[in-house]
Structure 1
Amino acid sequence: MLRSLRTRAGVAVISVVSVAVLVFFITQLLPGDPARIAAGQYATEEQVAGVRAQYGLDKPIAAQFADYMSALFQLDLGTSIRTGRPVRGELLDRLPATLELGLLSLLIAVVVGVGLGVAAAVHRRRPLDTLVQLYVVFASATAIFWVALVAIALFVNELGVFNSPTGRLPRGFPAPDHVTGFSVVDALLAGDTATAGAALRTLLLPAILLGVFASPSIIKVVRSSTIRALESDYARTSRSFGYPRSSILLRDGLRNSLLPVITNIGLVAGFVLAGGNVLIEQLFAWPGIGGYAYRSLQENDLFALRGYVIFIGVAYVLINTVLEFVYRRVDPRVEITEGR
């Protein structure tokens, strides 16, 4: 067990360092001059040169890379050219908003994915299975921003089911005292049910959209694993002994289908944090790290972009490392197999 921990920790460190190195050299290829953008449209060459020197952009690439890696080992992600603030602080300030949206989206994705996956497996090759497969194709192939625009037009502008996409709270509602950083939870802790309800109505639509578009991969693995479990020898034996179908489904099908979900959550979390989340946060004016990355890309904020990608890379590696250990606890056969 201890050797396994050391191995996984080493792999995680190598992964993060590799991401950091790749990010540095890829961002060097971005078009435009960050110093000129930061200095402003009417800045003189002397002013641009001053900005370039301020951020170390006038140094050779090798020297910039050495400074960059040295700062990273001190947990310094640099200073945003756009805002002049430390990137790490800006990301941490926006992290609670992204986590609030991301965790609810992940919950929706798991509930929808497991529910539809099991239903499709139980009704294999029947109309319900076909409908679920069409849903998977639609959610996998359709652009999330297009569906989001349609959803805003329908459920916000026409039906008024959800609040306007103006951030975490509608206009006129004061932000609750910061306790957890989650608007709904903080409002409930303060006893302000009106603000909690308003925050929830603002949060639900982007969370549902992210959850729906993140669920296809879960549906596919749950469907296939449930089918295998229901067609296994022990399931056939249970049926021959007269066990009800619901009991077999819960004991054999659902239990075995949840193991692949654990490994799949890492991929879903990657989509929720760094894929659809960037577009959704921008469309819904959500003050999270996804919207921060979008604006940084628009304004060619080199250091903010690097910090964002490294931040997401570290989060992704940590999530998958934790999930791997959870999987080992749930299924001890993995440890036994590796120990041979």
Structure 2
Amino acid sequence: MTVNPNISTDATLERWLGTIKTHVDPLKPNGKTPSLCGVDFKGSSLGLLKAKIEEAGRVLARNPADSITICIAETGQCRGAAAKREIRVIPKRLAFILLPGEVLNLEIISHQVSGLLLQVPTTILLRECELHGTEDPDLLSLQETIPGHETLILACTQQLLDLADKDEGPAKSRLIDPLEASILSLIASLVGTTKGSSAAGNASEPSQSAHVQAALAFMEDYLAGTITLADLCKACCISARTLQVSFQTVTNRSPLQFLQELRFIRFRDLLLQRMDVRSACKQVGLQPTGRMAANYKRLFGELPRETKPQKT
């Protein structure tokens, strides 16, 4: 597991946009050298690249032969094709999917573009699909099922990038590994099947992710207050059982476990920003008690008062 902030252009383009062939043209007519900056994460089951490319006119790349790559756009304008499929760039929406060995031909219109690249080895994703009961999975179906779930994917991947950027320690893996597994599970839950007879059995999978996405949005909006399972069910307009099953399927955790983990992650972020313990607790809905401190130490390997801002 590695995370590389302030990544270099050449190494990252080679690693992410294809180890076979990668070609980047400068933006015309100024001819400036293309540059890339962002955060690069490589875990045990997936990789993430949240990046910004500047002064590039065209990117030609071949996806690795053993992985599927998903791109969600954030800013900028571009057009082109992934294989022969047209690319449409809308902020916070799926831009393209590359299957193993497919070629990306991207014409960048604006001076800069940014987005998230999520890359999963094909064998790992197919194995996860089997665990979800998807027979004969069709990975290209993600092009139809991911739209509408980008907010949840971006939220989960940002949590992973934030955690990966923290100091090393035994508690780091205890948080990152389950979150990485949850993102993989979410993507697998959206994979459809090529068999018509199995389509009905998988029809509920995307809706489960939508339930989790709605619950996550509610948690973020009301994190400082008291949130009950009934509150989440009301916000999502579903029963408690449906919400519980949806969270277990997509995140491998219960709704309230996910909420508590989210609170501790946000709490730690505030401490790293030099906020005092009591104020940080108030902002994320935690009580500054000994039990809270013990749970924090179990997760991060240190007490809240021992968490110091990172040196710049």
The answer to whether the superposition gives a TM-score over 0.5 is: no
Higher RCO (Cα < 8 Å, 6 or more apart):
1
| Structure richer in helix, relative to its length | 1
TM-score, reference length from structure 1? 0.25
Larger radius of gyration: 1
